[in-house]
Chains A and B, each alone.
Chain A
């Protein structure tokens, strides 16, 4: 097993599965077109896409907000793969052009030459399917990562049946596995219009459409049962089993950030957007979606302190405003609240409040937290780190372990003198095994 980074001290090494001229991540329209162009120019081209997803990811709302409105068909990977190929006929054309296509393969990491990692002459991308994780090197990489759903933290948003426009579109048109019947659509722009058209074309009943920001509540005890909203002094109510949040999407920038692409705030392109930097290209929705339309909706949704913003860690808008430590510590925050931090940064706020620290890794609350921190000026982006997608323990367990780690974790990092207490004289021999451990105890 060749190690890509001989200076790594990690106990497990991902296998390296070769090198391609051009790797394209994301097999939507933009990614397929880029892969075909690359192959036509003679480059050995690999196109990967995380769909069809591992069935467990639908329930975790990764990468979209699926809102538990997927049917049992999603657990049949082979059938889902057929549907994806049927929904994207250009995939077959790409294969005929010589593009190697790997579906059900997620990119969870990206490693490129940077001040702290100078060893990588060309980018190395971490890939995984449901059985294994591995690395692929490439001369060029094109990121066609698409866009993410934006969650409005309105009352009731965590109920099963609340989904995003991307999740709805994927279940309806990519997987053919949408299980809802009556939907209410939130949002006024082209995204909402597209959502409505797709719903009607699929025979889904559109029970309601809220095009302008309103104070609203998603009703239901265990599942969505309806939506109520205020119009002036009047409350309206409509019954439904699904609410599609189609106010906004944001460019997916996670892998671009890991690969060192500059990230900038550009509301005209949806929010934080990555710009390609050789040898990385960023294309399609990842390079910019429609102008951000969520501001007024998020302001209304987070106006009240009891609004639940981070559902994984139970953090409310009020907790964030007060910079309150996590609930279970039962401690007050600083008297000055958010202002106490000075320049606000979502990563710092995460450490203080736990907002964004849970299993969804901020996929659902990023935009809400950012809006709360950006009252005066846009707060910097919350950072991303590998693994960008959850890797099953079975994938990690299957990897070869460093013999030192397996035999004895006290041999961690292979530091021979780790257990030498400070009161004993420093050894002349740097290989000396310190303290009360013998050479046999510490496996190097």
Chain B
């Protein structure tokens, strides 16, 4: 028997994959599952600088089928910049993903408005 202490996203995910491989697993949780840091905003899960990024990008699209429950995952991300300096920094951080083979496109002011008509007048462009 494998005992996993903690029923947050890390403990549950570990238990899930072990159980799928046929191991007997018990998760021990002091409160309720997925509740504390795993149930709050502020816990990011898609960091392109992380060694897990590529695997995470592979797994997310399958999660609804794997879990049998909709997770509301969306595959696209939009970054909106209010000045050139912001846009420059966004490209630098986005490059952490594009360097690994992921796609990102630059949006000028008009293209951004085409995609998001309600974006503020102060948005100069973005990354999709």
Residues of chain A whose beta carbon lies under 8 Å from any beta carbon of chain B: 325, 329, 331, 334, 345, 347-348, 351-352, 408, 410, 418-422, 434-437, 441
Q: For residue A408, which residues in chain B have a CB less than 8 angstroms away from its CB?
A: 86, 89
Per-position 1/0 for B66-102, Cβ under 8 A of A: 0011101000000000000010010011011001000
Given contacts A325-B70, A421-B48, contact A435 B96 (CB under 8 A): yes
Q: For residue B93, which residues in chain A have a CB less than 8 angstroms away from its CB?
A: 410, 419, 435-437
User: Across the interface, do A436 and B69 meet the contact criterion of CB distance under 8 Å?
Assistant: no
A-B contacts besides A331-B69, A408-B89, 5 pairs, CB < 8 Å? A334-B68, A348-B32, A422-B50, A436-B95, A441-B92
> B51 contacts the other chain (Cβ, under 8 Å)?
yes
Given contacts A325-B69, A325-B70, A421-B96, contact A441 B50 (CB under 8 A): no
> B33 contacts the other chain (Cβ, under 8 Å)?
yes
Q: For residue B35, which residues in chain A have a CB less than 8 angstroms away from its CB?
A: 347-348
Q: In the complex the two chains form, what is the Cα distance from A329 to B71 in whole Å? A: 10
Most buried by B among A325, A408, A410, A421: A421
Q: In the complex the two chains form, what is the Cα distance from A347 to B32 in whole Å? A: 9
B101 to chain A minimum Cβ distance, whole angstroms, is 13
**Which A-chain residue is minimally distant from B39 (CB atoms)?**
A351
> B34 contacts the other chain (Cβ, under 8 Å)?
yes
User: Across the interface, do A329 and B51 meet the contact criterion of CB distance under 8 Å?
Assistant: no
User: Across the interface, do A345 and B32 meet the contact criterion of CB distance under 8 Å?
Assistant: yes
B17 to chain A minimum Cβ distance, whole angstroms, is 21
A53 to chain B minimum Cβ distance, whole angstroms, is 28
User: Across the interface, do B92 and A329 meet the contact criterion of CB distance under 8 Å?
Assistant: no
User: Across the interface, do B92 and A436 meet the contact criterion of CB distance under 8 Å?
Assistant: yes
Given contacts A347-B35, A419-B49, A419-B96, contact A331 B70 (CB under 8 A): yes
Residues of chain B whose beta carbon lies under 8 Å from any beta carbon of chain A: 32-35, 39, 48-51, 68-70, 72, 86, 89, 92-93, 95-96, 99
User: Across the interface, do A422 and B51 meet the contact criterion of CB distance under 8 Å?
Assistant: yes
Q: For residue B50, which residues in chain A have a CB less than 8 angstroms away from its CB?
A: 422
Q: For residue A421, which residues in chain B have a CB less than 8 angstroms away from its CB?
A: 48-49, 96, 99
**Which A-chain residue is minimally distant from B91 (CB atoms)?**
A436
Q: For residue B99, which residues in chain A have a CB less than 8 angstroms away from its CB?
A: 421
23 CB contacts below 8 A, A to B, read: A325-B70, A329-B70, A334-B69, A345-B32, A347-B32, A348-B32, A348-B35, A351-B39, A352-B69, A418-B49, A419-B93, A421-B96, A421-B99, A435-B49, A435-B92, A435-B93, A435-B96, A436-B95, A436-B96, A437-B89, A437-B92, A437-B93, A441-B92
Binding site secondary structure of chain A: loop
Q: In the complex the two chains form, what is the Cα distance from A441 to B88 in whole Å? A: 9
B126 to chain A minimum Cβ distance, whole angstroms, is 14
A243 to chain B minimum Cβ distance, whole angstroms, is 36
User: Across the interface, do B49 and A420 meet the contact criterion of CB distance under 8 Å?
Assistant: yes
User: Across the interface, do A422 and B69 meet the contact criterion of CB distance under 8 Å?
Assistant: no
Q: Which 3 pairs between the two chains have the least Cβ-Cβ distance?
A: A436-B92, A421-B49, A422-B51
Q: In the complex the two chains form, what is the Cα distance from A96 to B117 in whole Å? A: 59
Q: For residue A437, which residues in chain B have a CB less than 8 angstroms away from its CB?
A: 89, 92-93
Q: For residue A420, which residues in chain B have a CB less than 8 angstroms away from its CB?
A: 49
User: Across the interface, do A348 and B96 meet the contact criterion of CB distance under 8 Å?
Assistant: no
Q: In the complex the two chains form, what is the Cα distance from A408 to B39 in whole Å? A: 26
Given contacts A331-B69, A347-B32, A348-B33, contact A419 B39 (CB under 8 A): no
**Which B-chain residue is minimally distant from A116 (CB atoms)?**
B36
Q: In the complex the two chains form, what is the Cα distance from A331 to B67 in whole Å? A: 13
A418 to chain B minimum Cβ distance, whole angstroms, is 8
Q: In the complex the two chains form, what is the Cα distance from A351 to B39 in whole Å? A: 9
Q: For residue B34, which residues in chain A have a CB less than 8 angstroms away from its CB?
A: 348, 351
A393 to chain B minimum Cβ distance, whole angstroms, is 15
Q: In the complex the two chains form, what is the Cα distance from A94 to B117 in whole Å? A: 56
**Which B-chain residue is minimally distant from A411 (CB atoms)?**
B89
**Which B-chain residue is minimally distant from A417 (CB atoms)?**
B49
B97 to chain A minimum Cβ distance, whole angstroms, is 10
**Which B-chain residue is minimally distant from A329 (CB atoms)?**
B70
**Which A-chain residue is minimally distant from B47 (CB atoms)?**
A418
Q: For residue A325, which residues in chain B have a CB less than 8 angstroms away from its CB?
A: 69-70
Q: For residue B70, which residues in chain A have a CB less than 8 angstroms away from its CB?
A: 325, 329, 331
Q: For residue A434, which residues in chain B have a CB less than 8 angstroms away from its CB?
A: 49
Q: In the complex the two chains form, what is the Cα distance from A437 to B50 in whole Å? A: 16
B84 to chain A minimum Cβ distance, whole angstroms, is 13
Most buried by A among B68, B69, B72, B95: B69
